[in-house]
Amino acid sequence: MSTEPQTQLAAPTGMAELATLTDEQIAEREAAIVRAAEAKKRLVKAAMHLLYPTDFVAMGDGMYLEGKGAMRLAGVGLKLSEPVYQVEKFGEDYFVECMVEADWPACGQVICEIGTCNTRDKFWNSDKERSEINQLRERAEGNEALARRMLLGHIKKKAYMNAVSRAVTGVMGIRGLTNAELAEAGFTPETAGAQVKYKGKKSTKKSTGALETVDVAGLLGLADDSEVSVRAKLLSAEITDGGTKYIIGDVSHKANLMSKKTDPLPEWCVGGAAVFFPQVKASLYQGRTYYWVNATPEQVTDGS
């Protein structure tokens, strides 16, 4: 038998006190924990009434709460720290990391989160004529480095809002809620402020080869990424630097259709003509829907 002194195993920090609790004391603490958890659930449920459906972005199979909505949720007594930024430069581009702490004194919880963004993000770099980077290039008179530097302010704000969203949803315990759980609170992908679709997740619905034909009112009500045929009155058409712009509709409903083609307009393509667009696609970008013409329009004659 060994005569070496036996090492005593100490209870983890904080556990030693728990080991001395009586059954009555444990029961009291259990009740307090359950009551606190229930109180937090009720507070969170009440706070959700501060949100608007457009505060969410439908991303693939989930929903993401944007920073503007998270800022409203913070109004129930959350304290947000001043942001701490770290900016790195790679060539002419910038990468921003923003750290924000959310403190919820009522629940005794604090969480620190990081949001990021960069000047190469596709959100800013569309090839569309009025995309953010193209507008800044115009202001910078073609100076790419200056345009990227001017974009830095937008990038820092986006990184901050991302950090706020993560910190607030984290401290409130609502990050990662399923669509079904959000639907119970009245928020669904259909009512979200924007729809983000990922490449590779294609619909399994097979096309019949024929697109539904709608009027201008039907066109304006389309969801992102929808494709239809459009029959309407042509108000005007013109060739621009970025392509052809068609304005269709009437006094009550108007829509701008855009085509990247710059072919000469046919003689019949004048204001007042009835026109048929075989294929028009709705595309949501930065909260605004654009309508793109993917085929040459056709003149509609009586009886056609």
Which of 162, 196, 230 marks a domain boundary?
Answer: 196
Q: Please tell me whether residues 190 and 162 are part of one structural domain.
A: yes
For the chain, how long is the longest CA-to-CA vector?
Answer: 110
Alpha-carbon distances of 141 from 89, 130, 136, 214, 243, rounded to whole Å: 22, 15, 8, 41, 21
Pseudo-torsion of CA 67, 186, 48, 156, nearest 10°? 0
Q: Please tell me whether residues 127 and 235 are part of one structural domain.
A: no
Domain assignment of residue 20, yes or no: no
Domain assignment of residue 33, yes or no: no
Check if the beta carbon of residue 293 is closer than 8 Å to that of residue 230.
no
Check if the beta carbon of residue 58 is closer than 8 Å to that of residue 84.
no
Cα gap 111→167, rounded to integer Å: 6
Domain assignment of residue 25, yes or no: no
Q: Please tell me whether residues 231 and 170 are part of one structural domain.
A: no
Nearest to 195 by CA among 161, 222, 167: 222
Q: Residue 237 maps to which CATH number?
A: 2.40.50.140
Cα gap 76→47, rounded to integer Å: 7
Domain assignment of residue 268, yes or no: yes
Domain assignment of residue 32, yes or no: no
Domain assignment of residue 240, yes or no: yes
Q: Please tell me whether residues 54 and 140 are part of one structural domain.
A: yes
The burial of 248, by beta-carbon neighbours within 10 Å (0-12 exposed, 13-18 middle, 19 or more buried), is given as buried
Q: Please tell me whether residues 192 and 225 are part of one structural domain.
A: no
Domain, as residue range, for 285: 213-299
Q: Please tell me whether residues 261 and 172 are part of one structural domain.
A: no
Which of 196, 231, 248 marks a domain boundary?
Answer: 196
pLDDT at 61: 63
Pseudo-torsion of CA 221, 227, 228, 233, nearest 10°? 70
Q: Please tell me whether residues 192 and 54 are part of one structural domain.
A: yes
Letter for the amino acid at 279?
A: Q
Mind giving me the DSSP string for 219-234?
A: HHTPPTT-EEEEEEEE
Q: Please tell me whether residues 87 and 188 are part of one structural domain.
A: yes
Cα gap 86→147, rounded to integer Å: 20
Domain assignment of residue 71, yes or no: yes
Nearest to 197 by CA among 223, 225, 234: 225
Q: Residue 146 maps to which CATH number?
A: 3.30.390
Q: Please tell me whether residues 78 and 157 are part of one structural domain.
A: yes
Q: Please tell me whether residues 129 and 226 are part of one structural domain.
A: no
pLDDT at 84: 95
**107 dihedral zone (left: phi>0; alpha: psi -120 to 50; beta):** alpha
Question: How many domains is the chain partitioned into structurally?
Answer: 2
Each of the 304 residues of the chain gets a pLDDT tens digit; together they read 555 555 555 556 667 777 888 888 888 888 888 888 888 888 888 888 888 888 887 766 677 788 888 888 888 888 999 999 999 988 888 899 999 999 988 888 899 999 998 888 877 776 666 677 788 888 888 888 888 888 898 889 989 999 999 999 888 888 877 777 777 777 777 767 655 554 444 433 334 456 788 888 888 877 777 888 888 888 888 887 778 888 888 877 788 888 887 778 888 888 788 888 888 888 876 556 788 887 778 888 754 4
Domain assignment of residue 264, yes or no: yes
Q: Please tell me whether residues 261 and 150 are part of one structural domain.
A: no
Q: Please tell me whether residues 177 and 67 are part of one structural domain.
A: yes
